[in-house]
Amino acid sequence: MKKMNRLLFVVGLCMLLTVIGCSKSNLGGGLAKGQCEITASYSGAASGDYKSLATLSTAVKVDPLIVLTAATAKLPPQTCQITFPVTLTKGVHAQSGGTAGGVTILLSDGTNGYAIGGDGATGFTVTIDEINDSEIRGSFSGQLGNDSKKTKITVTNGKFSAKY
């Protein structure tokens, strides 16, 4: 009987830990050094939701850049790369040409790639909530364009978090 009670206790504990581990957490809460998470919704020439996996990501800081690269587990895989200058400060950075405060973003929906300033896309902003020697966190929104296809997407609710 004691063995059965112990077994039931262990099974119950495992189930509880699984539920806690699978619950929705804050973006970037469980990242290891060298990982990032990127999420966004997009519509226009393509539409969908992008949510990277930390295990399919990298986050590196090599002066003068911080580079986040991430992918989804979908087929074909969606990818996103965000590049920041290490001199970037907290606050809102609006698009000027092909960057927003020196930030570049490339997002692939699995078929086509879109970038800040591509095909005349405008109105992109990047907000930096936290930036220091080991992590960066913030949000982004606006138009991204594809020069070769002459198409645009509008990104909403974009968020990123990384530890490097």
What is the value of pTM for the model shown?
0.81
Segment 55-80 mean pLDDT? 96
For 133-158, how does the pLDDT look when each residue is reduced to its tens digit (9 = 90+)? 999 999 999 999 999 999 999 999 99
Q: Which domain holds residue 90?
A: 26-163
What is the average pLDDT value for the chain, to the nearest integer?
A: 85
CATH of the domain at 115: 2.40.128
Examine residue 5 and state whether it is found in any structural domain, yes or no: no
What's the total number of domains in the chain?
A: 1
Examine residue 116 and state whether it is found in any structural domain, yes or no: yes
pLDDT reported for residue 24: 40
44-49 CB contacts, 8 Å cutoff, 24+ apart: 44/143, 44/151, 44/152, 44/153, 44/154, 45/112, 45/146, 45/149, 45/151, 45/152, 45/153, 46/109, 46/111, 46/112, 46/114, 46/151, 46/153, 47/153, 48/78, 48/109
